[in-house]
Structure 1
Amino acid sequence: MNRPQTPLPTVPPGHGGRPRGRSPFGLAAPSILFALAYLLALLVWLAAGEVLPGGRWFAVHLFTLGVLTNLVLTFSEHFGRTVTRTTGERSAWWPLVTNTGVLGVLIGLPGGHRWLLVAGATVVTTSVFLAYRRIRAMRRAAVGARFGWIARIYERAHGAFIHGAVLGALLGSGVLAGSWYGGARIAHLHANVLGWGGLTLLATLVFFGPTMARTRIEPGADARAARWLRRGATGLSVAVLVLLATGLPGSAGASARVVAAAALGVYAVGATIVCVPVARAVAAAPHRTAAQPLVLGVVGLFPVVVAADVVVVAAGAWRWLDALGIAVLTGVLAQAILATLVYLAPMLRGRTTAARDRLIARLEVGARTRAGLVLAGVLACTLGAARLGDGLPLAAAGWTLLAVVSLVTLLTALWPVPHPDDA
């Protein structure tokens, strides 16, 4: 990317206690706090899930609806305004509205309250649709913006969520059942995981991945990403539609799988074209940051997992789909969230430049070890979900490892930063 990237702010010697200005991410704080609350709830569920209602469905939606949706909504709008250079922010009460709907879904289905499920899904979907309208208005108002294509991909991601939410509501309410249930569930998962989460992440990685490593992406990579992410988003839309027909018997279902796999192959190529130059830039960065090894893990795993998904869909080997879903949720999306938390925590919590610098130094301690443990936990969870070896103990060990690393990272980022006079 040719546009100069903003370096971390510095302060002249002797002014380390100078108060810092308002963080550019300050308005994202409410959504981040909601996401952290759901993340803590997810850690509790992982520790005591057998005695809690909802089963695996509840854990997945704690992450996708509670954590992921809060963060995607706030950061896609923030970065959408950044790349289109438009002013304004969404109203402060939108996170409250969105999370009222999220709670309705999370309580409605496990509790058997279909009216609450439908109401909650309607509120969340409406919130996402209005966010889509705001981002679309930004892009149209920013005539000639070099990176307006990023806002366009955010729009496509929001559209994927709406499609996935409609499918999810139809599945949860029992409208889609019988032979249609399996294909609709697979389409729902792809729309939400690869569309809502994946497209947003890929568009953001082009510029924010290198920024978290304090470097720049190579020239021309943004133009290639723009072309292939548009194609990948279209491929995913086709795949979601065709996946609905994979439950049909005989040659019709087999043909649908082949077409869906081909469409997902376009998405996989787009993901690879985005991730490879980001990986090269981040690996070659002259400075070592706390987020750097986590970003490398994200861009290393994403192309591998989506390529494997193409094979699974083409072969109809659905028993592997849960394992791939775990790999995407933990190794790609959750790891990207951890990297973002590590990068943003000093900006959000450092009241002074000195406090920010102390928090940066604290997070850099053991950063590579934490990233390595994340990858080990992802591998164990994925193999356990695939039922390779003794699956249950392996998966339990993986989830425990991921929970411990996440908790340690949260404590490291959120623990109060002492004033120099208190040290």
Structure 2
Amino acid sequence: MTTLGSRAGWHRATGALVISWLVAAALAVSFHRFLPEQGWLMVHLTMLGAVSNALLVWTQHFTRAITRSSASAGRGGEVTRLVVFNISALGVVIGMVTTTSLLTLAGAIGAGAVSAWHAASLAQTVRTSLPGRLRAPARYYIAAAALLPPGVLLGWWTSTAPEGVTAYVLSAHVAVNVLGWVGLPILGTLITLWPTVLHVRMDESTESRARTVLPVLVGAVLIVALGSLIPLLAGESGATPSRILQALGLLGFVGAGLWLLQPAAAVTVRGKVGDFPSLSLASGAAWLLGTLAFAGLWVATTGVPFSRAVSSLVIPLVGGGVVQVLLGALGYLLPVMAGGGPSVLRGRIAVVDRGATWRVVAVNAALLFYVLPASSLVMVTTSLMALGVAIVSGVRIALAMFRTPEPITYAESASQPSADAPAAGENKPSPHSRREESVLSPHSRREESVLSPHSRRRGDVGRGLGERSGGIVAGLTVALLAVVGGVAGDPAAAGVVGPLGGQIVAGASPSVPASGAGPSVPASSEVTRVDVQVEGMRFVPDSIQVPAGSALEI
């Protein structure tokens, strides 16, 4: 039995905390029609709850690891920060749902104070540790934690700002919290975690490149945030400069992020991507940077405000990007930290990785169908399908962490094909790659033999494309079923036509009007054009009246 004071007990407890917030977010998505502020809830239960807790825990862990510090002094400060942060986050959620502005403000101040304390703790760890080669990720974590206090206060401002101000403040809030608080740690972690997951040596240029890129990334965050607020000072005349700065900041952030990750991407050819952590991390990073790049180009070419662009891209940005990175990281780290010895660890890894190919393909194919032009019902079915499969991945991670699986011996694992095992004639991994694995934990010497390329038994790992084709087909089939379900539920909206050219109405014969539909109305040449905007988390206007027979253009 483990205790909170042990490493395994600590990571089981904090892992359960993160998963609890993810469960709450999944419930909010499932029952959003019955909830107030449903759009806000779905995003913030994920980002403020699950993702922020994971960042508080793992940025502290990684900072200790790369500075070769230990938690021997106790975790009193960490426990206090997590308790206060979660109480504050609950205060923000309850305040928003009940429209209690003071409670929302108190929660925002509490969360910001914890983040500032966290930044100071990380800085103290770096300052008091012995000099080392790999310090860049810790600087990313400190910068991110320093950005959260103004970010949460901007978030509170969005809940109280007048209607004409909300969009500008929301843009700044998203820039600081999504790009800064979440984006910086993701990029700073991937440069070391990705080679570790693949069991290859980290590129020698990573540290110097990371030091160079950090000011550019922070500058890009500030450009987007400050650019978003220009119209508050300059009025309508500041709208164009605001959008130019937003586009430049977004594209600059993406460009700097790609340049930062290039060495990590380059070492991919020396490893093999095929287990759940590597597939999920790669997919999440692609969605995160790809969505931000699309938002930047959208703002630059059409002049659409950043707040409207990001409101339209919440699912690919949060679900496709952030959540997949989070699940991939937890899928790699939690089995290692849960303890139990080499054979048990191999069993935990097998639980996480079983069916990895179909799960990752299903999520990403469903998200791809979601972002393509489609009816609203298809968007609903594909997003729910992606959520359901992501829940399956979360459940497998939880099972691997909390239940002791059947141990897998070295002989059994060696008989399984391994993605990381060197092919005939290749050299075995360099001893230096083992040192890179110590980034995960100051205690990881005990795990080195467990994490050896020869000992990781994984459900789908080590198979070529042909052997994984079953999982690929299964994942695509699941996603296509979601599309078919959406089209069948509303064929008219999907543009499905009957044999005589008329649109099919759900539940009716192609030649007979649906019950209650009334007689057919001949189409006219009139077009009703309506400009719909997103204010906060609401559409304005939220209802449209169109004369019978005329077309609607939004």
* TM value normalised by structure 2: 0.66
CA drift of 1:274 comes to: 2.5
Equivalent of residue 271 in structure 2, options 263, 285, 290: 285
Deviation at 1:83, TM superposition (A): 2.0
Match for residue 270 of structure 1 among 249, 252, 256: 256
| Residue number among 271, 278, 300 corresponding to 2:286 in the alignment | 300
Structure 1 distance, partners of 2:245, 2:316, is 24
Counterpart position of 1:124: 111
In the alignment, which of 73, 78, 81 is matched to residue 61 of structure 2? 78
Among 316, 322, 327, the alignment partner of 1:338 is 327
Cα distance change on mapping 1:59 and 1:420 into 2, 3 Å? closer
Aligned AA for 1:122? I
Pairing partner for 1:184 from 136, 144, 169:
169
In structure 2, C-alpha distance between the alignment counterparts of 1:381 and 1:165, rounded to whole Å = 29
Q: Structure 1 residue 297: deviation in Å?
A: 1.0
Cα distance between partner residues in 1 of 2:288 and 2:201: 20
Aligned residue among 74, 82, 105 for 2:92: 105
CA contact 2:168–2:228 (8 Å) conserved in 1: yes
Alpha-carbon separation, structure 2, partners of 1:148 and 1:97 = 28
Task: Assess if the C-alpha contact under 8 Å between 2:280 and 2:328 holds in 1.
Answer: yes
Indicate the structure with greater helix content.
1
1:251-285 Cα deviation digits (max 9, x unpaired) = 42201221232233321221111333323323541
SS of the residue 1:112 aligns to: coil
**Deviation of 1:410 (Å):** 2.5
> Which residue in the other structure is 1:395 paired with?
379
Matched, 1:323 2:312: yes
In structure 2, distance between residues paired with 1:372 and 1:288: 12
The percentage of counterpart residues that share the same residue type is 24
Offset at residue 122 of structure 1 (A) = 1.5
Separation of aligned partners in 1, 2:268 and 2:99? 47
Q: Aligned partners of 1:305 and 1:165: how far apart in 2?
A: 23
- Displacement of 1:92 in angstroms is 2.3
Amino acid at match of 1:179: G
Q: Is the 8 A contact 1:213 1:288 kept in 2?
A: no
CA offsets 1:342-367 (integer angstroms, 9 cap, x no match): 11232244523212111212322221
Equivalences for residues 6-405 of structure 1 within 5 A: 27-88=10-71, 89=75, 90-142=77-129, 144-172=131-159, 174=160, 176-246=161-231, 249-282=235-268, 284-286=270-272, 288-314=274-300, 315-318=302-305, 319-383=308-372, 388-390=373-375, 392-405=376-389
TM-score normalised to structure 1 length: 0.86
Q: Tell me by how many angstroms 1:91 deviates.
A: 3.5
Partner of 2:392: 408
Q: Which amino acid aligns with 1:200?
A: P
Deviation for aligned residue 1:420: 5.6
Change (3 A) 1:378 1:216: farther
C-alpha distance 141-381 of structure 1, shift in aligned 2 (>3 A): farther
Instruction: State the Cα distance separating 1:286 from its structure 2 match.
Output: 4.3
Partner of 1:93: helix, strand, or coil?
helix
Does the CA contact (< 8 Å) of 1:265 and 1:307 recur in 2? yes
- Show CA shifts across 1:33-66 (max 9, x none): 2211111111111111101222201111101111
Question: Which has the larger Rg?
Answer: 2
Task: Give the counterpart letter for 1:409 in structure 2.
Answer: S
Structure 1: distance between partners of 2:269 and 2:314 = 26
Cα offset, 1:130, TM superposition: 0.4
Q: Is the 8 A contact 1:228 1:269 kept in 2?
A: no
Tell me if structure 2 keeps the 8 A contact 1:157–1:200: yes
* Structure 2 CA distance for partners of 1:45 and 1:208, relative to 1, 3 Å: same
Q: Once the two structures are superposed, what CA deviation does each residue of 1:213-272 show, in whole Å capped at 9, x if it has no partner?
A: 222333313322321132111221232112112465444220122123223332122111
The 3-state SS of whatever aligns with 2:393 is helix
Paired AA for residue 16 in structure 2 = L
Q: CA deviation at 1:195?
A: 0.9
Alignment check: 8 A CA contact 2:347 2:407 kept: no
Question: What SS does structure 2 have at the residue aligned with 1:165?
Answer: helix
Deviation of the 1:418 alpha carbon: 4.1
Question: Can you list the C-alpha shifts for 1:57-81, whole angstroms capped at 9, x where unaligned?
Answer: 1111101111111011111111122
Structure 1 distance, partners of 2:248, 2:405, is 55
One-letter amino acid matched to 1:357:
R
Give the partner amino acid of 1:399.
S
Aligned AA for 1:125? G
Q: CA RMSD in A?
A: 2.4
Q: Secondary structure at the match of 1:373?
A: helix
Cα deviation 1:180-210 (Å, max 9, x = unaligned): 2211111101111111110110001110122
Corresponding residue number in structure 1 for 2:417:
none
1:244 maps to a residue whose letter is L
**CA shift in 2, pair 1:297/1:159, >3 Å:** same
Paired letter, 2:94: I
Q: For 2:276, what is the secondary structure of its paired residue?
A: coil
Query: How many Å apart are 1:381 and its aligned residue?
Result: 4.0
Aligned twin of 1:5: none
Aligned counterparts of 1:354 and 1:40: Cα–Cα separation in 2 = 30
Partners of 1:153 and 1:399 lie apart in 2 by: 32
8 Å contact from structure 1 (residues 264, 310) kept in 2: yes
Q: Secondary structure at the match of 1:237?
A: helix
> How big is each residue's C-alpha offset from its partner over 1:103-148, in whole Å with a ceiling of 9 and x where there is no partner?
1011111112222111111111111110011112223334643232
Per-residue displacement from partner, 1:301-321 (whole Å, max 9, x unpaired)?
333222222223334323432
Corresponding letter in the other structure for 2:66: V
Q: Is the contact between residue 142 and residue 148 of structure 1 (CA under 8 Å) also seen in structure 2?
A: no
